[in-house]
Structure 1
């Protein structure tokens, strides 16, 4: 006889199951999940024993409600714009967006807790209206929700609490059903702040991710051309440090850092020949001027470097370079991304957000390779027994780039329950959630997640 789970959850826009990983690690049982992408749905089924392939718009609308009763609603929902012409129209204003379907589920089922995740820009100035519509609709349905965003990234969380060396800022919207207004008059605050809980120490990618040992994996080797691009810019970095050291020695000052503004080889012209059209945006004017000044100061060294590596023959995006590695002495010691905006270099203390296979991070040092898909899965907090079946690495990278980080979800939900503990304790299901999240659960999902995944894979059912 199986014991009753502490809470039931639904997983909307489920992807490969980042929310499921966190919620199951707290003891929750999934009663419904939905994912429109067949490849992601297949991975979800392989690991969580439930086929989520479907469409929420068909399962939750004015005529149908196939989403069952549940206690926690989780959704990493796509952000679709709402019409500004319909202000004050409540739920009608969201009609035609996927958020409207989420609201229909909430309106009918009234789960105890809502846990939504979206990109950082949702809470930015360009989406102020959408943000207000979301908060106002949840409030109107009887939910206690902060009107300020909760922004968090897994690199801010200690490893022992499920953190990862992965800079991935996301907005979380958390809400608790409070129809009686128990906490009326107490302004809800964001459950987390975008600040480090680790302290000043740096991450060690090799041990904290961890990276595979040197020589053990090279699924997508750097091409000869990619190495040539990196070699060229690596030499440019070394040249610049040498020039700065010579200048500091002559002037008796400290060595200045390398320029942090975007470098555009195509904009390297002397200042006396610089011509900027009047219609050029202010931000671009600034970069063009700074590039020109830098080139004029070091023209001889730059011209020699360009000719030696035939830099003008590089693709346009590889004639651009973004140095964000502070005092690092060489490009090959950095973490790099081949972006449309240029080659971006960062210090090898943590990894930038997973976005797409074409921009998979390249680690330097002894490895000089892209991250493997398994290392990318570790970045999202998934255990090594999490399987992607026989699909291509490209599909796996794409799914991970669209996913949520397990440790971040774990932390956000725990802090939300802690904030609204008084409300939750007024109901039986709320008391069970408090018990499972704040008392019974370990400090980190890493303590239980591998066994949770193994059980789900073998049981084939919730």
Structure 2
């Protein structure tokens, strides 16, 4: 087995985005020797933060299209490395004929990863994808991925490792973001040994369980921990709510206050659709029967909600005549804040499905579309820099001069640094006997929390 580099170990970073895996593995003593990212803007952000600061001799080879570096025949144009990481896109695999493994993966971007693994056989492979990759709708794709890795020679579990950064405390690299992702980790031991271990039913389970770290409660998170001081934010008015947006929130907040005063409880947890606040007796049974069950249930619950609180709702509507002119999506409220007393005390998103309100502890997953979380106590959206902190990137991480929309998209597509480091470190510890000693020593000697984490300033 190949010895790791004098720096600890080397790694190739595929579908690299803005460098989530880079931050995690560099923390463990790794040296990046190869980067592949097809998106020009994301690659520019990666280079600005992770490559430009390095001396020329230490800079990795940069690739803009992995398909050109992985020919079907002949060697791949990727240097030797000890660890391969990839936050890869998942395309459908063909189900035709009797194809297996590498053959069936051909034509997908996973095949390009497999070609590198087949040619270079790095000691560890670390892949990341959305949770649905291991769900029933993608069972075939999952089976092809696992079967292919095993045929190449990787010991890999057929059970997904699902993890989220909010399950870790700051001292272990966590951040207050619910971001369940599937991690696939494999150790190269050769196809024959893989086959023998499967025959002996020595198949590993998930690297980690989806549960909070010992001694940590996810309710201990505070969103404010990842926020910058308002005074330090250039052009902060760009992130503040507009007068119209504040009116949306204030009107709904008045309903929250009236409801609490009348009932001494918080709003119900089902979606409130004000356009369907009518008496249940006026609903057409035939119309209800023709609806999908989920929609019928919501409409019935809203009608019963109206019947139970008719006087309150009618008085509230009379007090706010502008409500009827709100966009349709702003006439819907998803109250997921339990006993919170005001929208302004929580975290909310202006979603196509309505205004979603949560407690100000941990945030919903960052996404690559415009659903940026709003921190109610400061009446503003998270900035791109704060969104990067939510992913575990360092305080000095920069997006350069690019537009915010591109920065939000890049962060939403990224890898959570703390979660990636946690599963990688755990996998190395579990497989230490089959890995290069330099790699094992380097990873296990690193602090439990990445140096980019909140632990340095919030623990």
TM-score in terms of structure 1 length: 0.89
CA shift for structure 1 position 447:
6.6
1:216-235 mapped onto 2 (5 Å cutoff): 216-217=232-233, 218=236, 219-235=238-254
- Deviations 1:275-334, CA, capped at 9 Å, x for gaps: 234331111111111111101111222123234322221111111111111111111111
Asked if 1 retains the 8 angstrom alpha-carbon contact of 2:171 and 2:455, the reply is no
> Partner residue of 2:298?
287
> Partner residue of 1:4?
6
- Deviations 1:185-214, CA, capped at 9 Å, x for gaps: 3220111111111523511222x32x2235
> Partner residue of 1:303?
314
1:111-260 mapped onto 2 (5 Å cutoff): 111-179=122-190, 181=193, 184=197, 185=200, 186-197=202-213, 198-200=215-217, 202-206=220-224, 208-209=225-226, 211-217=227-233, 218=236, 219-245=238-264, 255=265, 257-260=266-269
Asked if 2 retains the 8 angstrom alpha-carbon contact of 1:42 and 1:51, the reply is no
User: Is 1:45 equivalent to 2:57 in the alignment?
Assistant: no
Q: 1:223 to 1:142 in 2, by over 3 A?
A: same
Asked if 2 retains the 8 angstrom alpha-carbon contact of 1:41 and 1:53, the reply is no
> Partner residue of 1:437?
443
Structure 2 portions without partners, runs of 5+: 52-59
Structure 1 portions without partners, runs of 5+: 246-254, 425-429, 452-462
1:400-415 mapped onto 2 (5 Å cutoff): 400-415=411-426
User: Is 1:386 equivalent to 2:397 in the alignment?
Assistant: yes
User: Is 1:89 equivalent to 2:74 in the alignment?
Assistant: no
Q: 1:316 to 1:72 in 2, by over 3 A?
A: same
RMSD: 2.1
TM-score in terms of structure 2 length: 0.89
CA shift for structure 1 position 9:
0.6
**Distance in structure 2 (CA, Å) of the matches to 1:328 and 1:306:** 22
Aligned residues: 430
- Deviations 1:224-258, CA, capped at 9 Å, x for gaps: 1111111111111112212212xxxxxxxxx4x42
> Partner residue of 1:345?
357
**Distance in structure 2 (CA, Å) of the matches to 1:306 and 1:137:** 60
- Deviations 1:47-81, CA, capped at 9 Å, x for gaps: 12157451111111304611121110000001111
> Partner residue of 2:324?
312
Asked if 2 retains the 8 angstrom alpha-carbon contact of 1:21 and 1:449, the reply is no
CA shift for structure 1 position 418:
1.4
Q: 1:89 to 1:377 in 2, by over 3 A?
A: same
CA shift for structure 1 position 112:
0.6
**Distance in structure 1 (CA, Å) of the matches to 2:379 and 2:232:** 12
